[in-house]
């Protein structure tokens, strides 16, 4: 449900890596307040890493104090301590003990706001978007199978402005998201029909073929695993009978050696 923030996205900054210089306070402030989500976390991380390396954090902060709104300046100034406090709290938020999805979402948001204050929505815009979308997507569990595709398209349209945060900017990503939302209550026939419909809408011929091939491979692997467990259970049952009848007088060492030989032979034959 909750994902930690990352620093994957590289930002155009006013400072070159490992080249700490005096910053343009006004320009940097304008850039900073325009960021959100992972990009904002990344910029805070970079600011503090570079100013600490240059040993001039106080100087750089003083250049920004008059340029940033008060809440932004306080957030930037206290970021290292707040981040440490957040990591401690994040690991103790009792999300698993809350069954209701709405309550879990509310608990996470409340915890984030408790540490980060009124700008929590800016810092956690990516996570909040995922959480709010998850709540909205719950409606697919109450619709008929023949309504799923149209309902999903309407849902995507409503969340179009958050496509990047939801990682559904491409047709293929939109298809994968649809697959993850399919209710388990749909029958195999209904699921197959919906998948075919979604593939026609969101995938080209090559992508659809790759999906089918991948699903067939997964199904084959699952069948192999099921067959292995079934046959191994039969072997174990046969060995248990032997141990209690014709081989009951064998010593533990003799039986263990024989047992391992039979198991090894079975595995070697099965996986040839």
> What mean pLDDT is reported for the chain?
89
**Window from 14-28, 72-86, 113-127, 157-171 with minimum mean pLDDT:** 14-28
* Chain segment 59-70, per-residue pLDDT in tens: 999 999 999 999
Give the model's confidence band at 214: pLDDT under 50 very low, under 70 low, under 90 confident, else very high. confident
Considering the domain architecture, whether residues 186 and 102 belong to the same structural domain is answered as: no
Counted domains in the chain = 3
* Chain segment 179-211, per-residue pLDDT in tens: 999 999 999 999 999 999 999 999 998 998 888
Mean pLDDT value across residues 42-58: 95
Containing structural domain, residue 159: 143-203
Considering the domain architecture, whether residues 111 and 163 belong to the same structural domain is answered as: no
* Chain segment 113-157, per-residue pLDDT in tens: 999 999 999 999 999 999 999 999 999 999 999 999 999 999 999
Q: Show the beta-strand stretches assigned E in the chain.
A: none
Predicted confidence at residue 212, as pLDDT, reads 82
**130, part of any domain:** no
Q: Indicate the residue among 62, 91, 124 that finishes a domain.
A: 124
**53, part of any domain:** yes
Considering the domain architecture, whether residues 186 and 248 belong to the same structural domain is answered as: no
Residue 7 near residue 47, CB atoms below 8 Å: no
Considering the domain architecture, whether residues 40 and 70 belong to the same structural domain is answered as: yes
Residue 113 near residue 93, CB atoms below 8 Å: no
String of DSSP letters for the chain: --------S----SSBTTB-----HHHHHHHHHT--HHHHHHHHHHHHHHHHHHT-HHHHHHHHHTTS-HHHHHHHHTHHHHHHHHHHHHTT--GGG---HHHHHHHHHHHHHHHHGGGHHHHTHHHHHHHHHHHHHGGGGGS-GGGHHHHHHHHHHHTGGGHHHHT--SHHHHHHHHHHH--TTS-HHHHHHHHHHHHHHH--HHHHHHHHHHHHHHHHHHHHHHHHHHHHHHHHHHHHHHHHTTTTTS-HHHHHHHHHHHHHHHHHHHT-
Residue 194 has, within 13 A of its CA and on its CB side, a CA count of 26
**212, part of any domain:** no
Give the model's confidence band at 20: pLDDT under 50 very low, under 70 low, under 90 confident, else very high. very low
Residue 46 near residue 81, CB atoms below 8 Å: no
């Amino acid at each position: 449900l909750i994902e930690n923030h990352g620093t994957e996205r590289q930002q155009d900054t006013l400072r070159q890596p490992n080249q700490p210089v005096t910053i343009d306070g006004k320009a940097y402030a304008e850039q900073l307040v325009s960021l959100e989500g992972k990009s904002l976390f990344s910029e805070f991380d970079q600011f503090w890493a570079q100013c600490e390396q240059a040993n001039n954090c106080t100087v750089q902060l003083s250049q920004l104090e008059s340029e940033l709104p008060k809440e932004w300046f306080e957030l930037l100034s206290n970021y290292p301590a707040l981040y440490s406090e957040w990591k401690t709290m994040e690991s103790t938020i009792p999300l698993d003990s809350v069954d209701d999805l709405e309550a879990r979402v509310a608990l996470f948001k409340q915890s984030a706001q408790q540490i980060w204050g009124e700008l929590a929505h800016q810092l956690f815009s990516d996570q909040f978007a995922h959480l709010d979308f998850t709540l909205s997507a719950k409606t697919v569990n109450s619709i008929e199978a023949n309504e799923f595709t149209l309902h999903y398209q309407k849902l995507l349209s409503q969340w179009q402005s958050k496509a990047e945060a939801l990682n559904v900017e491409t047709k293929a990503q939109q298809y994968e998201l649809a697959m993850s939302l399919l209710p388990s209550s749909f029958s195999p026939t209904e699921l197959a029909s919906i998948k075919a419909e979604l593939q026609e809408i969101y995938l080209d011929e090559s992508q659809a073929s790759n999906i089918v091939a991948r699903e067939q491979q997964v199904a084959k692997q699952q069948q192999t695993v099921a067959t292995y467990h079934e046959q191994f259970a039969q072997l174990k049952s046969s060995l248990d009978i032997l141990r209690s009848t014709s081989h009951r007088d064998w010593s533990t060492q003799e039986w263990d050696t024989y047992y391992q030989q039979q198991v090894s032979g079975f595995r070697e034959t099965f996986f040839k």
